[in-house]
Structure 1
Amino acid sequence: MGLPPNFQNPKSESIAATVHTIATNIHSNPDAPSVPALQGSAKELPSDFYDPYPEYNSRKWRKKWKGTHAPCLGPRGVDVNVNPDDMVKAHRLKTKASRPTIGSYSETGLESDFCFDRHARYDPYGYDDEFPSAADAQADHMEPSKVTWKDVRWGELQRDCLARNQDRYEPVDFPNRTDVASTRDKFWMPTKKDHEDVDSALIFPPEELEEGASYRWWQANRASYKKKQAIVLRAWDGTEWTIDTMQYVRSFIMELGLHSGLEYEVIILVEIKDCTIPIFENEKAYRETLLKSVPDEFADITILFNRILLETWYPKVGKHDPQRSQTSHMHMPMELLSLLRPDIEFFWQTELDARYTGHHYHLLETVSAWAAKEPRKLLWERNARYYVPAVHGSWTNFTGWTANVTKGRGIWGPERTKGIKPVGPEPPTPSPEDDNYEWGVGEDADFINVSPVFDVTEGSGFIFKNSKDRYPDGLKTPARATATIPLTRFSKRLLRAMHHGQVNLGLHMFPEMYPESTALHHGLKLAVFPLPVYVDYAKSPKFIADNFNANEGKTLLNSPYAYPDIWRRMTYWHSMSKKTTFSDELYKRWLGYSGGPLERLCLPGILLHPIKGV
């Protein structure tokens, strides 16, 4: 389906028109006029269970992976893989979803010929229990069996699932901690030995590996084990756990964890702002605070921390302002989590004000696979730019365009700076000109973002560009940043490098700079996934491409903040003001908050941010 005509109009059309163009595709004619209401849109489309998982235990699967995939029990007391009530449904579109303004489905492997309405997406997680609709009851709509959600213990289900699938994952020794009940359940205050041992956390590969063997060789020989991942949800003790939020968290656990044999484990990190509560000295205080901070069903997948813990682990950083805790230490709990859970290779971090209308497993697996295929040549330069398919054409063309606008110049290996010894690999050739886009292909990314990562050092209007505390090169330290981080993925190796820098040198940058810059300094692979993003605004794709990729192809983000009216009308971004955003409006309409009781709006997989008040 081509770009909608209303993108060329001089004034922004209503959200209804844009929603119609993005989501429904129920007309065979792509130029059919949009209508203000989409009543029955999902009901007119054929539906079936949506199964994005590999063919577990097949001959092909067994040739690649160790162990056997075993089904896992779900909240209804039966194996989730065979229970229709635990499965998400999707509707098949008559034509593929319309092309997004930024990013792509077809060039990344994301499916765009399915869509999800609120019931197909959330009924397995209690949506129909909370919001039964007389209109839906009269339609072709089967209610799943009810669950007493407050009695579900997701931690027990995840642990049981892991036990059933343990032979699929590499055995890992956990820290020998005697001062905590379980090394898997909570953080601990550091000892002198913890600080003395910080260098050993950076040994990749292990010391016992034969001399001369490379990290890549070591990883290749671990390949038959499935690498465990975590999806980490960030909250604080004042988080409002709405019904929608709880359903969203359940969807992560079911789709990423229980259906996959715990390839992904869901962990909730909660900051306790009141540091007078002795959560690290008194087990009773910890338990009482935990039960006050999260719903009962999530208590055994939650880990608490506070500012005192971070000050104790990272005294040299000196940035622990209680009024600006996120700015001070956003990534420190993730760094500690990599120590607490050495069995986890990759850590996804997401915020509770983001929503994905598609299936989580399909999204994260597609993002990971795409990032692994990306070559390192001019990767930092592609990362800094917006891919607008209507202007740039294919991703191959976009890669060539980036090479042209950068005149072949690019980051090649670690970007050296004083005081930091890179842990990443050295380039296989002296310069990128000697490489035919081969280095890095098949290498898992150490950091993945879904919005551009840009250079802050030259001519940048980024307001936090001078946030480079205790770096020996000071303001001359090379740095990269991003403007929004609702969904990112860290490797264990990157988190250990970040931890090492903050413990040893007290390094500190703004949260949207520190992981990116650490990857830059250590020569680690960072990839930006071209996430499909729609814009509810009357600007042509050419305008977006020309203005968001300004000054020899550099992203607009390098320059003073501009076009706030466009940013807040994108499906994935953030808002600098309190004005309503397109993402928020679209999600609430998808939930049925507007549009009438009969409307069953059907959306393809779209990552939405920010979402407020649901």
Structure 2
Amino acid sequence: MDLLRNSVAGIFGRLRHVLPSHRYQLLRQRDEHIEPSSPSATRHYRRLPKWTFKDLVVALLALGALLALIINTTRPSPPPKKTPPVEPPPKFVWQTFRPEQGYFEGLRKLVSTQLGREPGGSSSPSEYGTAYPEPVKYHPYRTNLESQTLPAEPCFLNEESKLLPPSLWAYNGVPESAPEPLLGSHDALGLNKDVCFDRYGRYAAYGFGQDADEGGTGFGIHGDMNGTELTLNKESSIDWRKIDLSRAQRICAEKNRHRFSRPASTYTDDAFHHAENWPNATSLPATDDTPSSQTHPHVPRTAIVLRLWDQYQWTNYSHLYIRSLISELNLNSGAEYDIHMLIQVKDNSPIWASDQVYNSVLERVVTPEYRSLATLWNEDLMRLLYPGPFEPQFNRPGPIHSVGRSMHMALQWFATHHPEYDFFWNWEMDLRYVGHWYELFDRVDKWAEKQPRRGLWERTARFYIPRAHGDWGSFVQDTETRALNGSDALVSGPQTFPNWEEDNRTAVFGSDYHTKFSFPNPPSDTDSTWGTGEPADYITLLPQFDPAGTFWIFRADVSGYSTDLPIPPRRASIVTASRFSARLLRIMHTETFRARHSMCGEMFPASMALHHGLKSVFAPHPMYFSRVWNDSAYVDGVFNSNPTTGSSGGNSESVFSEIPQHNFRGGTYYYDSGFSGRLWRRWLGYKEMGAGGEREERDEKGSGRMCLRSVLLHPVKWEEGDVGS
């Protein structure tokens, strides 16, 4: 194009003295300087140009070039050639592994282990069945004979109409290519791995797939709905518009009061009752928290404390979540669990000014059916309860009373309102469970109680990887062998350190605090049964790792201990979803209020259990990953990176350090897992990353809607998506 333009410019340059128009311009300019009455001038102006053959040829060539230029510039340009997008090269090793597709198989591809067929195989689309299997009601509750507890009185959603709470439906069997968890195990915790759950069997009872004008949510009516005659039965559907769940939970607890050992709360709703009546960690009877109090047929009670804030965006899925928790954990269990909401008020509303202000904020942030389950708090209250000073500090990552740094303070305060509970689960609104809530909480509780104390801190610091370690017994033996080959002895009993005695522990906790808090005392360091049958004081869902030597960002968030001495020994566990005993929360309160000690919220509970010799465990629940990690030795090296002890912490390569934690992104449980939300939405029937959705589910050559084994997912930040019809 540039060559053509240059040629045309050259031709026009040659024509400057040839073309008539140019000559006319030259003559006119000349005429301006000659008198018009001059006869010679008039004759020169009217003279016609003489054209030579050469002039004609040049003119024709110029005209042709001009026409070619016009045609070329007005012709539409051909579309650029489309080149396929170049995917960025994998940044991490796990991104080179092939994606695991077994999660997305559906109900037409179930195999039953009871019939001798094991998952893990494959079949062609032509082998898929056309008939859908029938679901069965799923009932994971223990009978009174099995649990050796007093019989439970039945509870209802509506006491007047005797409307029973709903049941879940599950399918016997799992999809043929269903993967095994990469970390953790169903077998170890006693979870049923031979059933799977689809979205309607799990949530239809709570309004999913039901019309809004019939009391349902009005969504979930999409995709593959074959075989839902039982789970979407109109005759057994519940009109949730008429249900007051907080009232139902309160009545259930009153009817079953005879089953529980602890008295009901005697505190009023006064936010400042703690000033005179805060339970003293050394004044309550020792039997309140010791295993001996659990040998009679009374049932220990647990509070599930949901953490929210005043700007939380309620959705229909939030209601499904709350309904499932209350129905499965409270109403169908005889009130073994109560659901509460601990709501932080961030907008500076003066909620303690009067009952009217408190109630107006409560009405604004919580819907009526949950209002009596809610307790409001704010950071101003925490500053009043725990004034400090929390000095000196090894690190200052922000205001010490903020929920991000000290979430435990509000839970400690909440526990003083509710002495009727033996245990408190700190729980989050972005957790989801494919499976039955009671089975998860009950099996984790019973498993933790059975764990012996010998080598417990060492096991709690590691991931259990069945492919690398074998069965649970082999893992226990391997952990102890590796720990004894290291330089340190097994952790046993309370841990003292230079900062410990200088804080005058006897004045804070009493002269016998060691024996009081670490009940029972170990008969000997070699007794493998020590602690068996003792309820755990602290249960986490990720390992309790040693942050020393790691690059975890909050490893030095320790306050109130002398910075002239070494930083105290400590343990941490990412994600604050965990279970606390009432005893542990009292100790944490005393450490915070009297000793003025504090740490990051993900480090303080485990560290206090370590310092005081309490029973603390990590429950190895099943964790899945989006890709196939074939090399079991590589998996163990990534997640249990300590080359000597095989623990997950205590070294710079720890998977909890700032950079290596990317390995969790493709997993189902971590604070920023990406796969957890994607798997949940696919299971709900929505498109995700170009796959799934209505068209794929209804494809006659496909295997139908997804059916998953039980799995805990975190975080799930949003749920409703594109159906993709």
Given the two structures, how large is their TM-score scaled by the length of structure 1? 0.85
Whole-Å Cα distance in 2 between the matches of residues 549 and 525 of structure 1? 22
Q: For 2:303 and 2:397, how far apart are their aligned partners in 1?
A: 26
C-alpha contact 2:623 2:711 (8 A) present in aligned 1: yes
Shift of the alpha carbon at 1:32?
A: 3.4
Q: 1:523 to 1:54 in 2, by over 3 A?
A: same
Distance 1:304 1:522 in 2: 31
2:121 matched to 1:32? yes
Label 1:295 to 1:34 Cα distance change in 2 as closer, same or farther (>3 A): farther
Of 629, 632, 645 in structure 2, the residue corresponding to residue 553 of structure 1 is 645
Shift of 1:472: 5.0
Tell whether 2:185 aligns with 1:108: no
Distance 1:586 1:468 in 2: 37
| Among 602, 608, 613, the residue aligned to 1:523 | 613
Superposed CA offset, 1:308-343 (max 9, x none): 111111111559967982223301121112210000
| 2:477 is the alignment partner of 1:413 | no
Deviation at 1:10, TM superposition (A): 8.4
Superposed displacement of residue 167, structure 1: 0.8
Q: Matches of 1:257 and 1:345 in 2, distance apart? A: 15
Q: Give the letter for the 1:266 counterpart.
A: I
Which segment is superposed worse, 111-120 or 550-559?
550-559
Deviations 1:575-604, CA, capped at 9 Å, x for gaps: 2xxxx7111110000111121323421111
Q: Does structure 2 conserve the Cα–Cα contact (< 8 Å) formed by 1:74 and 1:80?
A: yes
What percentage of residue pairs aligned between the two structures are identical? 31
1:581 corresponds to:
674
**Could you tell me how far apart the structure 2 residues matched to 1:23 and 1:567 are?**
31
Partner of 1:398: 475
1:405-554, aligned counterparts within 5 Å? 405-407=482-484, 409-416=489-496, 417-418=500-501, 419=503, 420=505, 421-422=513-514, 423-425=516-518, 428-429=521-522, 432=525, 434-435=526-527, 437-457=528-548, 459-472=549-562, 475-485=566-576, 487-539=577-629, 540-550=631-641, 551-554=643-646
SS at match of 1:481: coil
Q: Output the CA distance in 1 between the equivalents of 2:356 and 2:124.
A: 58
For 2:418, give the aligned amino acid: R
Question: Residues 21 and 500 from structure 1, CA distance in 2 versus in 1: closer, same or farther, beyond 3 angstroms?
Answer: farther
* Matched AA of 2:638: N
Q: Could you list the per-position Cα deviations for residues 185-244 of structure 1 after superposition, in whole angstroms to 9, with x for gaps in the alignment?
A: x461256434xx55x2443535xx8xxxx97464245x3211111111110011111111
Measured in 1, the distance between the counterparts of 2:109 and 2:153 equals 37
| 188, 198, 208: which one aligns with 1:127 | 208
For 2:434, the aligned partner's letter is T
CA distance in structure 2 between the partners assigned to 1:428 and 1:415 by the alignment? 14
1:227 aligns with 300
2:664 alignment counterpart: 567
Alignment of 1:90-105 (within 5 A): 90-93=170-173, 98-105=179-186
Query: Which one-letter code corresponds to 2:684 in the other structure?
Result: L
Contact 1:231 1:265 (8 Å CA) reproduced: yes
**Aligned equivalents of 1:100, 1:162: Cα separation in 2:** 37
**Counterpart in 2 of 1:193?**
276
1:261 pairs with 334, 346, 353, which one? 334
Give the structure with higher Rg (CA): 2
Structure 2: distance between partners of 1:16 and 1:611: 20
Residues 500 and 23 (structure 1 numbering): CA distance in 2 closer, same or farther, change over 3 Å? farther
Residues 451, 549 of structure 1: CA spacing in aligned structure 2 closer, same or farther, 3 A cutoff?
same
**Residue pair 2:294, 2:300 contacting (<8 A) in 1 also:** no
Aligned partners of 1:232 and 1:348 also within 8 Å: yes
Question: Relative to 1, partners in 2 of residues 1:101 and 1:13: Cα closer, same or farther, differing over 3 Å?
Answer: same
Change (3 A) 1:31 1:347: closer
Partner residue, 1:159? 250
Quick one: distance in 1 between partners of 2:434 and 2:680? 8
Deviation at 1:267, TM superposition (A): 0.2
The alpha carbon displacement at 1:249 in A equals 1.2
- The offset of 1:279, in angstroms, is 1.5
Out of 35, 40, 55, the residue aligned to residue 143 of structure 2 is 55
Matches within 5 A, 1:8-87: 11-14=96-99, 16-20=101-105, 25-26=110-111, 28=117, 30-33=119-122, 44-56=132-144, 64-66=148-150, 68-74=151-157, 78-79=161-162, 86-87=166-167
Alpha-carbon distance in 1 for matches of 2:382, 2:126 = 51
1:269 Cα offset (Å): 0.7
- Residue 453 of structure 1 aligns to a residue in which SS? coil
Instruction: State the alpha-carbon separation in 1 of the partners of residues 142 and 398 from structure 2.
Output: 46
Deviation sequence 1:472-507 (CA, Å, 0-9, x none): 57543111111223x311000001111111110221
Say whether the 8 Å CA contact 1:320–1:329 is kept in structure 2.
Answer: no
Pick closer, same or farther for the CA change 1:566–1:343 going to 2, 3 Å. Answer: same
The structure 2 residue matched to 1:300, chosen from 368, 372, 378, is 372
What is the TM-score normalised by the length of structure 2?
Answer: 0.73
Aligned pairs for 1:582-597 (under 5 A) are 582-594=675-687, 595-597=692-694
Contact 1:229 1:346 in 2 (8 A): yes
- Give the match for residue 325 of structure 1: 402
Deviation at 1:13, TM superposition (A): 3.1
Which one-letter code corresponds to 2:616 in the other structure? Answer: L
> Which of 282, 285, 288 lines up with 1:205 in the alignment?
285
Question: Aligned equivalents of 2:402 and 2:566: distance in 1?
Answer: 23
**SS of residue paired to 2:191:** coil
Give the SS at the match of 1:260: coil
Deviation at 1:546? Answer: 1.9
Rate the CA distance shift 1:192–1:105 in 2: closer, same or farther, 3 A: closer
Residue of structure 1 equivalent to 2:384: 312
Structure 2 alignment gaps of length 5 or more: 1-92, 211-217, 391-395, 506-512, 698-703, 720-725
Q: What residue ranges of structure 1 are gaps of 5+ in the alignment?
A: 1-7, 178-182
- TM superposition shift of 1:18: 4.7
| Partner SS, residue 601 of structure 1 | coil
SS at structure 2 position matched to 1:331 = helix
CA distance in 2, matches of 1:73, 1:430: 47
Q: C-alpha separation between the residues in 1 aligned to 2:478 and 2:620?
A: 15
| Distance verdict in 2 for CA 1:320–1:308, change over 3 Å | farther
Q: Is the 8 A contact 1:162 1:262 kept in 2?
A: yes
Please, which moves more after superposition, 420-429 or 31-40?
31-40
Q: 1:226 to 1:127 in 2, by over 3 A?
A: same
Distance 1:398 1:21 in 2: 33
- The secondary structure found in structure 2 opposite 1:369 is helix
**Is the 8 Å Cα contact of residues 462 and 557 (structure 1) preserved in structure 2?**
no
CA distance in 1, matches of 2:599, 2:108: 39
Cα gap change, 1:271 to 1:466, in 2 (>3 Å): same
Q: What's the CA shift string for 1:123-146, capped at 9, x where partnerless?
A: 111112222536666644333545
Question: Does structure 2 conserve the Cα–Cα contact (< 8 Å) formed by 1:11 and 1:538?
Answer: no
Q: Pick from 348, 354, 360 the counterpart of residue 282 of structure 1.
A: 354
Q: Which amino acid aligns with 1:480?
A: R
SS at match of 1:235: strand
Displacement after TM superposition at 1:262 (Å): 0.7
User: Is the Cα contact below 8 Å between 1:479 and 1:517 reproduced in 2?
Assistant: yes
Instruction: Give the Cα separation in 2 of the matches to 1:116 and 1:217.
Output: 36
Deviation per CA, 1:378-430, whole angstroms, max 9, x where unpaired?
A: 10000001111011001111111111111162111011233344442267457
2:63 alignment counterpart: none
Contact 2:517 / 2:614 at 8 angstroms: preserved in 1?
A: yes
